Structure 1
Amino acid sequence: MNLMSHLIGRRFPSVDLEASSGSPVNPAKLQGLAVIFCYPYTGRPGFADPPNWDHIPGAHGSTPQALAYSNAYGHFRRSGVKLYGLSLQDTEWQRDFVTRNGLTFRLLSDATRGFSSRMGLPLFETGGVAYLQRMTFIAQDGVIAAMRFPVPEPERDAEIVLDMVQPR
């Protein structure tokens, strides 16, 4: 059951999000088919996870999810799909994650919450900090055509979404 199905058919808000590549991406202006998977947080060596992270359902799994998308990136490209990950983390943190993990696609920072607040995306909080709940959007020309929420098995999200977007 998709608890966010009211977003299907809605255009992404026109917000410039800084990408890990350094250039802005405006989801409303994306042409063609695009996948944006939203994730709560990626860890970093030398930094503790947020408080109570191990006890929050759905909090873990962002790294396996991103790596699965990176491994499937060639299939998405061959299908003509633009691929992005999105979190509330700042661009510098995301750049470090991209570099450490050799990701083949860009991450988008919504650190100002300009995108997530206009979309009314669900958040959870721990340690006084808000995090996005995990969800995945499939959009055509900036309009949400389908989505996955919740995403109970983040490591399988790329495989499931690829099956949804590949031509039959």
Structure 2
Amino acid sequence: MTKQTNLLEVDWSQIPAPQDDGAAAHLVGMTVPPISLRATNDTAVVLSELRGRTVVFAYPRTGEPGKISLVDDWDMIPGARGCTPQTCAFRDLFAELKAAGAKQVFGLSTQSNAYQTEMASRLHLPFPVLSDEALELTEALRLPVMEVAELTLIKRMALVIDDAKITQLFYPVFPPDRNAGDVLEWLKSNPV
């Protein structure tokens, strides 16, 4: 197995797919708790206060070009690889997601707001990314996580939230670059 170093061009046939471990089954129907998260547009976002339909896609951590992975076998951890392709797919389909009823779109990870702000600028994201570095939302919703290099990382998923209630879950997500398209199709089939 050769290590795939390009963050965007990934041969998904060489990456292990995550299995549905049931760790997110409780989420549909839950009300999002009133937790404030720092966003890359320098605002505080409380998902439970947002009206209308919100899409939140969560991922373990986006990579930094030219930097080494957290661990040597990052690509072989099911569900770890693909955060940048997932994020870029939501970027590329942002206007269509909005047209299909998503009033807001957010990325979510446990990375620091400072790192996320650099990444959002580098990838030209039209939506904010939320930092749950303190794991408040992750723990309150009991989001599925993975422990890698002594860090707690959210497993890849997407949530559709309508007026603070989680109405749809995409989990597990594979390949990551198709997640935005799957969410878009669901939004079109389930108008507000």
TM beyond 0.5: yes
Question: What does 1:78-117 align with in structure 2 at a 5 Å threshold?
Answer: 78-81=99-102, 82-117=104-139
Verify the 8 A CA contact 1:2 1:149 in the aligned structure 2.
no
**Hey, what does 2:35 align to over in structure 1?**
15
1:139 and 2:161 are equivalent in the alignment: yes
- Any idea what the Cα deviations from partners look like across 1:18-48, whole Å, max 9, x if unmatched? 0000101111111100110000011113432
Q: CA deviation at 1:125?
A: 1.3
Taking a change above 3 Å as real, the CA distance of residues 8 and 84 of structure 1, as seen in their structure-2 partners, is same
Residues of 2 paired with 1:74 and 1:54: CA distance? 31
**Hey, what does 2:88 align to over in structure 1?**
67
Q: CA deviation at 1:55?
A: 2.0
**Hey, what does 2:60 align to over in structure 1?**
40
Q: CA RMSD in A?
A: 1.5
**Hey, what does 1:25 align to over in structure 2?**
45
Question: What does 1:140-155 align with in structure 2 at a 5 Å threshold?
Answer: 140-155=162-177
What SS is found at the alignment partner of 1:14? coil
Verify the 8 A CA contact 1:36 1:85 in the aligned structure 2.
yes
Report the AA paired with residue 150 of structure 2. G
- Any idea what the Cα deviations from partners look like across 1:90-110, whole Å, max 9, x if unmatched? 111001111111111110000
Residues of 2 paired with 1:2 and 1:165: CA distance? 25
Percent identity of equivalent pairs: 33
Verify the 8 A CA contact 2:101 2:187 in the aligned structure 1.
no
Q: CA deviation at 1:152?
A: 1.6
**Hey, what does 2:150 align to over in structure 1?**
128
Q: CA deviation at 1:154?
A: 0.8
Higher helix fraction: Structure 1 or Structure 2? 1
